[in-house]
Chain A
Amino acid sequence: MRSAFESSGPPIDLALEVDGVARSATVPPLRRLLDVLREDLALTATKEGCGEGECGACTVLVDGEAALACLVPACQAQGARVTTAAGAGFDALRAGFLATGGAQCGICTPGMLVAARALIERAAGAGSELDDAAVREGLAGNLCRCTGYQKIVEAVLIAARGAR
């Protein structure tokens, strides 16, 4: 773990909900949510990619909204409801990724799943139908170096159709 986050003063008692389970940890206030999940809580579904907000690998939902766990300090996750790719409600997406080969090396996959879920839920809430362009725009912050994206886009469209 990196030092500026770790030397951010007296620890706080953090209580949050991760994938429906109440969790707590005593951590420096600016420790990254990513490190809280992976190191303090041993919940390793969320992966670290770039660690600087560029790649989307660590995307989680915080209170239902997509956020990058590498840029969220622990003090801002106090009382939050966090959803990772290990949570409930990803069945259709997982099936879609399996069917198309949308998951290959796997480092981007948890972030893709979470970002795709946020996208599908937002579209459903707005009553709009996702198409290829909308999926590509919605996942534009998530980098994949294996698939060339086509398989991922197809997977998300399959899951979106299933969700409607």
Chain B
Amino acid sequence: MRVVVARSEREALRALDGAGPGARVLAGGTDLMVELGAGRPAPDLVVDVRGVAALRGIREEGGGLAIGALATCSDILGDTRVARHADLLAQAAREVGAVAIKNRATIGGNLGTASPAADLVPALFALGARVRLASSRGVRELAVEDFVTGYRATARAHDELIAAVLVPPRPPGERRAFRKVGTRRAQSIAKVVVALAVALDGRRAAGVRAAAGSVAERCIRLAAFERALAGRELDARTIAAAARDAARLDARPRDDVRSTAEYRRVVLARVLAAALSDLAGLAPA
């Protein structure tokens, strides 16, 4: 194994130039160090980018936000611009784990590892966020939704670095909700995690973006749920029907060490219904 401690983005990209599947990027270490300790096949190249100042920081860009890949969950939680544009992301960051994890775990790492249970990823889906990738070949951007391609799989090429996550400006009047269900409140990996962004026109759902984690091999948009709500008045019956559609048509959960497929389906429907009722100002059904 070779470890390159990069001090600039240029150094990091140079180290990744020509890299293959055995190359890994190290940021906060909360995923990679656990993997290395678990005895999985060791990478042949590790590029430590934690010291790269250009990948840090959160700033306003194009009316929205550019969040550096190295922004930690603690950074995101404490940032007033995130609170303004991307409250949903701050809520997700709060739930990621305990303080010592939040201080190191980065948004770029959460997205790059692309665990189906990642907490920040459903929030990024619901916010319509994009990811900026850099390599020595150039820079490209794509929707986070298109970036996450499968179980711990992304569209990132081996020589690419996640540089930033771009959150569009907050649409006026959009309401948002984030819910995570785990074994305990702190430090647990999600059994079900959902994020909603709903544009309300009176009581009517003019636009819905909904995403869920831990209910499929990767984070997914809840297309059937969104279809069942589009243009409808949000009453208890519509919400219950949409939540059932999500469990039946969108989710494709499996049994694993953390939960069962059946539990995930039932809880997904209930959590969606509760979150949406809350957001629409209805008493929970």
Contact = CB atoms under 8 A, between A and B. Distances in A.
B1 A71 contact: no
Nearest to A78: B5
Interface residues of A, number: 36
B103 A65 contact: yes
A68 B100 contact: yes
Contacts of B50: 76
B30 A53 contact: yes
B3 A9 contact: yes
B223 interface: no
A4 B187 contact: no
A103 interface: no
B145 interface: no
Interface in A1-35: 2-5, 7-9, 12, 29-30, 32
Contacts of B29: 71-73, 76
Interface string B254-284: 0000000000000000000000000000000
Contacts of A3: 39, 42
Contacts of A8: 1, 3, 46
A4 B22 CA distance: 14
Interface in A53-84: 53-54, 56, 59, 65-68, 70-73, 75-76, 78
A73 B26 contact: yes
B99 A75 contact: no
Interface stretch (A94-102, A134-142, A148-156): A134-142
A156 B260 CA distance: 38
A142 B2 CA distance: 33
Contacts of B98: 56, 140-142
Given A71-B29, A73-B29, A7 B48 contact: no
Contact of B104 (A30, A71, A75): A71
A128 B187 CA distance: 24
A115 B100 contact: yes
A159 interface: no
B186 A141 contact: yes
A40 interface: no
Given A73-B26, A76-B48, A52 B34 contact: yes
Contacts of B5: 12, 29, 75, 78
A49 interface: no
B100 A59 contact: yes
Contact of A67 (B2, B3, B36, B104): B104
Contacts of A75: 3, 5, 48
B99 A53 contact: no
B37 interface: yes
Contacts of B104: 67-68, 71-72
Interface of A: 2-5, 7-9, 12, 29-30, 32, 51-54, 56, 59, 65-68, 70-73, 75-76, 78, 115, 118-119, 137-138, 140-142
Interface of B: 1-3, 5, 26, 29-30, 33-34, 36-39, 42, 46, 48, 50-51, 74, 97-101, 103-104, 184-187
24 contacts: A3-B42, A4-B1, A4-B37, A7-B1, A8-B1, A8-B3, A8-B46, A29-B3, A52-B34, A53-B34, A66-B99, A66-B100, A67-B104, A68-B104, A71-B34, A72-B33, A72-B104, A73-B26, A73-B29, A73-B33, A140-B98, A140-B187, A141-B97, A141-B186
Given A71-B30, A71-B33, 13 more contacts: A3-B39, A4-B1, A4-B36, A9-B2, A9-B3, A30-B1, A52-B38, A54-B187, A65-B103, A66-B100, A68-B101, A72-B33, A141-B98
